[in-house]
Amino acid sequence: MTSIKSNRNLRVLNYLFGSETFNYVFKRLLQALLTLLLASALCFAIIELAPGNYLDTLSQNPKISPETLQQYKEEFGLDKPAIEQYLLWLQQIVTRGNFGKSFVYQRSVASLLWERVPATLLMAIASLIVTWAIAIPLGIVAAVNQNKTVDRVLQVVSYTGQGFPSFITALLLLFFAQNTSPLFPVGGMTSIDHADLPWWGQIL
């Protein structure tokens, strides 16, 4: 009986881990982790290549003694080589979930990130809804008018949008928001007159 159950469990595991869906999800997760690792290394390198650091700003404050600055250097590992600093920072994230401390806000970076999660989710969900609201009707129009002028025009627009760098698109949208102000807020979560709008206007 035990052998039958073990064989059944093995078949289930082989089915799960050998399926194309699992392999696809696994590859995507590895790609995401590699992208995060490379992005963090690039950001760290850019900050490291910039002249000076935050302690140079603190050293201009006469109230902060050299002993305090040295203590900060040892505490945050700023007296170590850049590679060692990055590896220590990465180790703290993986083992403790510690992203470090913000000198500007005098708080942990993790708490600042958690504060901004709701706004990030709101933006992501809203952009997804807008994308679907635009893409699905256009896809239906293209399918109905296959190989016609409308279909070809939509294909050109689609390929152009996919090939356009996202940061350029973001800058163009910022210019558009600036020129249509106060219809679209350039900065912040809401427009200036958000509190005076009706409930449906606040949602929009």
- Do 8 and 102 lie in a common domain? yes
Exposed / middle / buried, residue 172 (Cβ in 10 Å: 0-12, 13-18, 19+):
exposed
- Do 119 and 173 lie in a common domain? yes
- Do 97 and 121 lie in a common domain? no
**Consecutive 10-residue averages of pLDDT for the chain (204 residues):** 58 64 84 90 86 75 80 80 87 85 82 87 87 89 87 86 78 80 67 68 64
Structural domain of 69: 2-107
- Do 131 and 56 lie in a common domain? no
- Do 128 and 54 lie in a common domain? no
Strands 101-102 and 107-108: antiparallel
Query: Can you give the pLDDT at residue 34?
Result: 92
- Do 84 and 146 lie in a common domain? no
My answer on whether omega of the bond before 182 falls inside 30° of 0, hence cis, is yes
d(CA 19, CA 27): 12
- Do 73 and 126 lie in a common domain? no
Query: Can you give the pLDDT at residue 124?
Result: 86
> In the structure encoding, which two tokens stand for residue 38, read together?
């490379």
Total domain count, the chain: 2
